[in-house]
Amino acid sequence: MIKRNIKIILIFFLSFLLVTQVYAAISMKEIRSKYSDDKNIINKLTEKEVKEWQKEIEAWCKLMGSVTGDPSTITSNAITSKDKKEVQSIINALLQRKQNIQAQKDKEENEKKTTEEKKKEDEKLKKYDIKEIYKYLTDHGAENISEDVKKQWEKTIKESKESEEYKQQVKDALDGKTIEEIRKDAEASDTAIYKQPELNKNNKNPASNLSDLISDADSFERAGKDLQYKEENLQQVSTSMYNILLLLAVAIALIVGVIVGIKYMVGSVEEKANYKAMLIPYVAGCVVVFGSFGIWKLVITILENI
């Protein structure tokens, strides 16, 4: 009797776990759609949701051709500059949301600390070098830093041997600028080493100079790229198919498990023996089906990193 109840409880638990995992997943298409509809949606995400979004974006960036999971390193033929800008904006907003959540946690923890504990924490922070300072500010923000620590960090930044551009980014973070503002300022201060050639429309002969010749070549190359398949579409189809099939498999497994469990509980001794025998192929079927989905996901993950 006890073994029977344990088996039934285990079936219900596994089915519930599979269902919650399916609904917890979010695709890149959903992320971009939600962000497009409401730019402020990221400020409503929980810490867990922020991690899920960051994980999906990183996987998508790698699928598009970025080794580091950064949209700025994606090859130009895989995603347009407009899409890169949108994805980078989402990443910045997620980092800012993560920073705000951590800052709130720090504030609550500081309220519980004694004066002596705060003093020890400040002494530890004062010893940070410029890179440790920037890492701390990126993760925690500057909201809960004491004036003594801030003065020491300003001195550390000023005396650092890092580039002036990097020192300015750290100084901006210490002054409380948002991640989006810091990155925009950094991009604006970069020295351009290449300018996209433009067609000289005033010249009757488009190929009369080097700039026009390069521009014509780029236009010809882009025309050929437009005929290629889009990896983003393939990725969206694959993700949608995976989620639909997995949801269908979970639904069938859950329904069958519930039916078998109920009939096992209310059935006669002979019927219980029959349903007990059915548990073996049922469990084996679940292992095969969900194992296949696991292999599918594993293969996709491996291919993303190649």
- Of 189, 218, 251, the position where a domain reaches its end is 189
Q: Is residue 37 included in any domain, yes or no?
A: no
Cα 297 from Cα 292, distance rounded (Å)? 9
pLDDT at position 266 is 78
**Rounded Cα distance, 93 and 91, in Å:** 5
* Beta-carbon-side half-sphere exposure of residue 167 (alpha carbons within 13 Å): 12
Q: Tell me which residue of 193, 146, 135 sits closest to 169, measured CA to CA.
A: 135
Q: Is 275 inside a domain boundary?
A: yes
Where does a domain end: 189, 212, 240?
189
Residue 276, domain extent: 2-26+232-304
CA distance 154 to 207: 54
- CA nearest to 291, candidates 253, 241, 236: 253
Residues 242 and 182 both lie in one domain: no
The pLDDT of residue 23:
38
- Among residues 189, 214, 241, the one where a domain terminates is 189
Amino acid 199: pLDDT: 47
Tens-digit pLDDT string for the chain (306 aa):
445 545 554 554 455 444 434 434 678 888 988 998 998 999 999 999 999 999 888 888 888 877 777 887 776 566 788 888 888 899 999 999 999 999 999 999 988 989 999 899 999 999 999 999 999 998 998 888 999 999 999 999 999 998 888 899 899 999 988 888 887 777 666 544 444 444 444 544 544 455 555 666 666 665 555 545 555 666 667 677 777 887 888 888 888 888 877 877 777 777 777 777 777 787 888 888 778 777 877 777 776 665
72 found inside a domain:
no
Residue 54 lies in a domain: no
- Both 118 and 173 in one domain: the answer is yes
**pTM of the prediction?**
0.54
In a domain, 106, yes or no: no
Q: Name all contacts of 276-281 with Cβ < 8 Å and 24+ positions apart.
A: 276/4, 279/7
Secondary structure of residue 144 in the 3-state scheme: coil
Claim to verify: residue 175 and residue 239 sit in the same structural domain: no
Structural domain contains residue 182: yes
Per the structure, the count of domains in the chain is: 2
Domain contains 67: no
Rounded to whole angstroms, the Cα distance separating 62 from 71 reads 9
- How much is the pLDDT for 13? 45
Report yes or no on 210 lying in a domain.
Answer: no
